[in-house]
Amino acid sequence: MSLNYLVIEGNIGAGKTTLAQMISKKYQAKLVLEQFADNPFLPKFYENQEQYSFPLEMAFLAERYNQLNRELSHFDLFSPFTISDYYFMKSLIFAQNTLKPDEYNLYRQFFTIIYDKMPKPDLYVYLHKEPNLLLKNIAIRGRNYETHITKQYLEKITQGYFSYFKQQSDFPILILDTNGIDFVNKPEDFEKIVQTIFGRPYSNGINRVL
């Protein structure tokens, strides 16, 4: 399958960044990683979601737009394709689950103005993992500001992703069930995912495998 722009996404702790890095290394692809650690509102948000939801989401919106616009507008002659560990639509999915209705309506106006200008991926891969496994991965990596994340919050984010998928037909969405997959420690699992992603074309809308 010929890809120019590949997106790897998933809920918090799904392993999207790790998989994107592994695929980038294997194919020498240009890698675009979300700069979430630079958001000054993130630690405050996990401590007080109600107070810091709107500034957090607006900061993410601006940063994601600036980064993707910068990275995707320059073609890299030395890379076969570009791979990113997030897609711009992520902004709306998280905002829908964190903002109050009036804040979300205002936020969506800004988002819509920007979204139409963003390039669409040739393939969008979503790593699906159950909340309990997500919490386990979150605990293992030990980020202090993530200790407040709850199972209920992760479930809301998962629901937001799947609601979005049902409405999306502009590009192929490949949903990979990774609950029984360990692509970090088992090379055969990694190769299975790679073959699934690159082995054949996918139609626009939802495609489920694994």
**CA neighbor of 51 nearest in space, from 109, 103, 111:** 103
- For 67-76, write each residue's pLDDT tens digit: 998 888 876 7
CATH number of 178's domain = 3.40.50.300
Catalytic residue list contains 182: no
Q: Which of 85, 102, 122, 182 is the catalytic position?
A: 85
Selection from 122, 12, 126, 115 nearest residue 65 by Cα = 115
Query: Per residue in 168-201, pLDDT tens?
Result: 999 999 999 999 999 999 999 999 999 999 999 9
Query: Which residues have a Cβ under 8 Å from the Cβ of 107 and sit 6 or more positions away?
Result: 54, 57, 58, 61, 95, 99
Domain limits at 73? 5-209
Mean pLDDT calculated for residue range 139-164: 91
What total number of domains does the chain contain? 1
Task: Print burial letters for 6-42: b (CB count within 10 Å at least 16), e (below 16).
Answer: bbbbbbbbbbbbbbbebbbeebebbbbbbeeeebebb
